[in-house]
């Protein structure tokens, strides 16, 4: 018997083959289009002016390539002082906690990120700046928060406490990326518990030299916050008198307050948890000049890791 059935591939015909080709081509175009969209979106975040935040200083008035010239170069202290602090805290790092140098490195990262942000006003620059500040808080919080305030479930274990702080910082990093417009105000609120903790520790301090440094630190922090608020909320008033540069003063004052607070909390940490190390507050370049650079040295050397994160 004659078999008139033809192979399935021939029955399909040219039209069906063409439909398959069109579907495959459509998928490829859709995939390439989505990839192109993602690349374009990423590029937009790198473009100058892509940040929703714009400070009071006029843009591109001094240099055609730097958006906020004064705000950019006011970060210079973040580059100059941390290497000096690393040298001054070499004994602290050796005999108490080498992680102290992480804070000085992170402060330099803050300076670089802030300079990049103010030079470009890009969204990626804003996020780098704010996330660097967040991680400075995390590092200092993990290292210096007094054990007597630990919740009971940490069982007085600083390493466990530090791990929890890192997890919290990672979650906060994700939230900061999702809601960049609110980051600046959220970060400002982190300064409040640090400020009140400093005041609380100063009340317990019996060293007049440390107490005086703490009062100066608190005063400079309040001055820095005043500059930030005025630049952010009262820009028109300051622009009317041709002085839209309060955010640059914020950079200078907040760096001084931040590194001074780290010096003080480094002193308090040793005094509370390793008093046998005998911490001593000194100033560079002259110890009898209290407006110099403060640092903590160790009078009695005992190698210990009980305070390390």
Q: Which residues are annotated as a binding site for Ca(2+)?
A: 54-55, 57, 59, 68
Six token digits for residue 81: 């002082």
CA dist., res. 296 & res. 54, Å (int): 38
What is the residue whose two structure tokens read 């009317």? 240
Of 50, 42, 35, 108, the closest CA to residue 75 belongs to 108
Yes or no: say if 124 and 45 are a contact pair by the CB < 8 Å rule: yes
Task: Provide DSSP, 154-216.
Answer: GTT-HHHHHHHHHHHHHHHHHHHHH-GGGHHHHHHHHHHHHHHHHHHHHHH---HHHHHHHHH
How many CB atoms are closer than 10 A to CB 31? Answer: 10
The answer to whether the CB of 114 falls within 8 A of the CB of 129 is yes
- CB neighbours of residue 202 within 10 Å: 18
Binding residues: 54-55, 57, 59, 68, 118, 247, 251
Q: Which residues carry a binding-site annotation for Zn(2+)? A: 118, 247, 251
d(Cα 226, Cα 224) in Å, to the nearest integer? 5
Compute the residue count for the chain: 309
Residue with tokens 């608190």: 218
């Amino acid at each position: 018997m004659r078999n008139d059935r033809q192979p399935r591939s021939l029955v399909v015909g040219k039209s069906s083959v063409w439909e398959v080709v069109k579907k495959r081509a459509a998928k490829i175009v859709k995939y390439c289009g989505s990839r192109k969209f993602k690349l374009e979106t990423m590029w937009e975040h790198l473009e100058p002016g892509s940040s929703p935040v714009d400070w009071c200083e006029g843009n591109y008035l001094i240099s055609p390539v730097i958006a906020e010239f004064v705000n950019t170069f006011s970060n210079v202290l973040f580059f100059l002082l941390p290497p000096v602090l690393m040298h001054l805290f070499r004994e602290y790092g050796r005999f108490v906690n080498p992680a102290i140098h992480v804070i000085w490195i992170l402060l330099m990262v803050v300076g670089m990120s802030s300079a990049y942000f103010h030079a470009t006003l890009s969204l990626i620059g804003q996020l780098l700046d704010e996330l660097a500040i967040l991680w400075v808080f995390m590092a200092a919080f993990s290292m210096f928060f007094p054990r007597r305030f630990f919740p009971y479930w940490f069982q007085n274990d600083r390493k466990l406490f530090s791990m929890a702080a890192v997890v919290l910082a990672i979650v906060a990093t994700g939230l900061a990326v999702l809601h960049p417009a609110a980051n600046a105000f959220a970060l400002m609120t982190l300064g409040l518990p640090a400020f009140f903790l400093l005041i609380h520790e100063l009340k317990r301090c019996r060293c007049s030299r440390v107490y005086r440094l703490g009062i100066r630190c608190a005063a400079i922090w309040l001055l820095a916050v005043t500059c930030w608020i005025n630049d952010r909320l009262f820009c028109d008033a300051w622009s009317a008198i041709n002085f839209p540069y309060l955010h640059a003063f914020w950079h200078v004052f907040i760096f001084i307050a931040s590194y001074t607070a780290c010096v003080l909390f480094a002193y308090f940490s040793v005094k509370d948890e390793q008093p046998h190390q005998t911490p001593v507050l000194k100033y560079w370049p002259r110890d009898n000049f209290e407006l110099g650079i403060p640092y903590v040295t160790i009078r009695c050397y005992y190698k210990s890791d009980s305070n390390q994160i």
